[in-house]
């Protein structure tokens, strides 16, 4: 499985234009994004980890008046972001080694964290903490249970990994976050498993 996880970066780079076309714009995530923004101060800055092509999630934040710093491992996806929103900050970076100047009022890792192996996911939570301003909100998706599975995207294997819920709670707590809301396979949000937390 770890070999498939290591191919994620190349898969999204090869398919950047396809991914941008395939990514839905209906914003089925809206309810969670609104709840996330309710924990931020007006105009609070957001770090979008695994921002893809900036649509629809980063666009939503920008339109609500929040400056966005987006990070993605795909240079081609970041190029799309820069073309769409040239006044925002876009960075080519592997989330496992993310080191951005400053702290953010909110951090989002929507449909990105679960492309890392469970081992690498454990190392992300200190990165979340490092980039968090006081009382920062954190929104991310995970798998519904611990384990690894291989999906498919345009004929290529697509890796997904997850810890179990108990371990995510422990990692959040250890890094200073309290769970605000958590739903496993939310039927109103494309059956995503979602975590909303806030720095204590």
Share of the chain above pLDDT 90, in %: 96
Query: Token pair for residue 120?
Result: 């690498």
Q: Which helix (H) or strand (E) holds 171?
A: helix 165-174
Mean pLDDT, the chain, integer: 96
| β 147-153/132-142 pair status | unpaired
DSSP letter, residue 117: -
Q: Is 30 in contact with 50 (CB distance < 8 Å)?
A: no
Radius of gyration of the chain measured on its C-alpha atoms: 16
The highest-level CATH class for domain 2-199 is: alpha beta
Q: Is 129 in contact with 115 (CB distance < 8 Å)?
A: no
What pLDDT shows up at residue 2? 58
The answer to whether the Cα torsion of 22, 143, 121, 37 is positive or negative is positive
C-alpha 18 chain-centroid distance: 19
In whole angstroms, give the CA distance from residue 79 to residue 12.
13
Confidence check: pLDDT of 132 > 60:
yes
User: 101-125 pLDDT, tens per residue?
Assistant: 999 999 999 999 999 999 999 999 9
* Residue pointed to by tokens 């819920």: 165
Confidence check: pLDDT of 1 > 60:
no
Q: Which pTM was predicted?
A: 0.95
Domain ranges in the chain? 2-199
């Amino acid at each position: 499985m770890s070999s498939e996880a290591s191919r994620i970066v190349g898969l999204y780079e090869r398919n950047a234009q396809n991914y941008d076309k395939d990514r839905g714009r209906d914003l089925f995530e809206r309810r969670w994004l609104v709840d996330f923004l309710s924990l931020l101060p007006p105009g609070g800055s957001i770090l979008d980890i695994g921002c893809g092509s900036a649509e629809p999630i980063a666009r939503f934040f920008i339109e609500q008046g929040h400056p966005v710093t987006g990070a993605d491992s795909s240079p081609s996806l970041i190029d799309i972001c820069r073309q769409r929103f040239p006044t925002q900050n876009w960075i080519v970076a592997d989330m496992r080694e993310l080191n951005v100047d400053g702290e953010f009022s909110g951090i989002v890792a929507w449909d990105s964290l679960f492309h890392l192996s469970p081992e690498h996911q454990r190392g992300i939570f200190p990165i979340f903490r490092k980039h968090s301003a006081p009382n920062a909100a954190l929104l991310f998706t995970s798998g519904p249970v611990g384990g690894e599975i291989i999906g498919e995207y345009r004929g290529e294997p697509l890796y997904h990994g997850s810890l179990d819920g108990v371990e995510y709670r422990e990692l959040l707590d250890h890094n200073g976050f309290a769970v605000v809301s958590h739903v496993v396979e939310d039927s109103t949000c494309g059956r995503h498993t979602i975590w909303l937390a806030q720095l204590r």
